[in-house]
Amino acid sequence: MKTLGNFVDNDIHLPSEGRKGPIFNPALGKQQGEVFLSNQEETQKAIESSYQALSTWTATPPLKRARILFKFKELLEKNKNRLAEFITHEHGKVLSDAQGELTRGIEVVEFACGIPHLLKGEHSSNVGTGVDSYSLMKPVGVCVGITPFNFPAMVPMWMFPIALACGNTFILKPSEKDPSVSLEIAHLLKEAGLPKGVFNIVNGDKEAVDTLLTDQRVQAVSFVGSTPIAEYIYQKSGHYGKRVQALGGAKNHMIVMPDADLDQAVAGLMGAAYGSAGERCMAISAVIAVGEIGDKLIEKLRPKIEALKIGPGLDKEFNPDMGPLISNQHREKVKNYIDLGIKEGAKLVCDGRNYSCKGYEGGYFLGGSLFDHVKEGMKVHHEEIFGPVLVVLRASTYEDAIQIINNHEFGNGTAIFTRDGDCARQFTEDVEVGMVGINVPIPVPMAFHSFGGWKRSLFGPLHIHGQDGVRFYTKMKTITSRWPSGLKQKANFNMPTMK
């Protein structure tokens, strides 16, 4: 059984003693390793390393920093299949999905390679006689990323390539449930030529996180995870004077209008609701069927859900559509939501609770579940289930459907399926959600656009990656200079104005 530690100063550090957390293989339902849960002292070692590395990395020309990222991208591509297997082993998602996650992460590295262009400041000459004004984009300092289990490679890569390209040092605190792939990535950064201390990994839980949030040497915190923890991170980091962005949970709705191409909508829904066993922040977990289309939608969905191939993500012959859930505990939580939905009066059309995969009976598998006639206010609609459970609500009109989405506390992603251009455009105006799809079920913005939701899906002023990422990881300095310095100046006790 492997034991994982931290990655500090370009080397693995295994504490001699301390708390450890189990790492499972969810397809087998067996523990396959353990990870040290860093205490305050271990966490501080990583902080000190990042702090020591900061001045040299900050002074490294942006092009030289980008060259290391170019090399890193090459290594990621070369190692993509190997990294994807690490993800599938610990997370459970099917191999093609793990490869897709890496592709989306690599796109952020590609974006970061071009960051020297975005670090150019602005210059205005002669804002007053002989006076010029210009701005510089400076790194923020030691930055921290705290990431969730569901995208163990992509979400860290939303953060650190941009932070590093901007001249910051970075400490990653990955999810303790699937930490291996980030350690592999750290080795690739080292191989690409990243100096020691510029990228460190601290494995752990709340103790490590709290140490990072309260240490004066840490300047900025990026978080992605569930809403209660996002809110906690946002408040605590803010209290300790740090720059913070915290992305939270979701309940993403898809509206299916009566004129929609139903086959297209159903095909989109199958991937969006059940892909990665529903453990995606951009999963569609609620559908609003408008007008008469509800019955037809259910008719088309039911056989497809019943035919889902569910099994171990690494079994190429079986080639499943979706794998197991991350843990037995999480599977029980999802099952409890299905029990609750029945109690709340929703109609369970497909019941995945008793699914078991032949040959992998110990695995944390669940079949796809579908609820119909779900009403606003039911917990299965209000709360994030984060499993392969799709709920269908019925609405008489487009306006009622919009109201349901806008009443919801989350605002991460949403989609509409319609052939009506007017309606689609109106939807983009009306809906109070950050990422919007028109006949696109999972509208995840590309790396050069910023990613982030609204309402209780995001705490902080900026979204992640894209231009917002660059803004988050830099602070602007504006310089006003007068040349020649000997230009006659009179004493002036009023607000300065430029002449």
Q: CB of 128 within 8 A of CB of 117?
A: no
**209-228 binders of ligand NAD (CB under 6 A):** 209, 224-226
Specify the amino acid at residue 403.
Q
**HSE-CB of 186 using CA atoms within 13 angstroms:** 28
User: Is 254 within 8 Å of 427 (Cβ atoms)?
Assistant: no
156 contacts ligand NAD (rule: CB under 6 A): no
Active site residue 113: no
Of the pair 52, 328, the CB lying nearest ligand NAD is at: 328
* Contact status: 247 vs ligand NAD (CB under 6 A): yes
Amino acid identity for residue 480 in this structure = T
The nearest distance, CB 49 to ligand NAD, in angstroms, is 20
Which one of 143, 281, 350, 357 is the catalytic residue? Answer: 281
- CB of 174 vs ligand NAD, minimal distance in Å: 6
3-state class of 184 per DSSP?
helix
465 touches ligand NAD (CB under 6 A):
no
Least separation in angstroms between CB 126 and ligand NAD: 45
Smallest distance, ligand NAD to C-beta of residue 190, A: 22
Identity of the residue, 65 or 177, whose beta carbon is nearer to ligand NAD in the bound complex: 177
| Under rule CB under 6 A, residue 205 binds ligand NAD | yes
Residue type, 197: G
CB of 463 to ligand NAD, least distance (A): 9
Token pair recorded at residue 318: 């079986």
Dig out the tokens for 68 from the structure. Answer: 């290391």
Which residue from 73, 93, 173, 243 is in contact with ligand NAD, where contact means CB under 6 A? 173
Site membership for ligand NAD, residue 90 (CB under 6 A): no
- Candidates 415, 443, 464, 438; CA nearest to 154 is 464
Residues 345-404 close enough to bind ligand NAD by CB under 6 A: 384, 386
Give the CA dihedral 70, 76, 78, 84, nearest 10 degrees.
-170
- Nearest CA to 256 among 429, 382, 385, 423? 423
Binds ligand NAD (CB under 6 A): choice among 150, 237, 285, 474: 150
SS (H, E, C) 57-110: HHHCCHHHHHHHHHHHHHHHHHCHHHHHHHHHHHHCCCHHHHHHHHHHHHHHHH
Site of interaction with ligand NAD (CB under 6 A): 146-151, 155, 173, 175-176, 205-206, 209, 224-226, 229, 247-250, 281, 384, 386, 412, 453, 457
Q: Which residues are catalytic?
A: 281
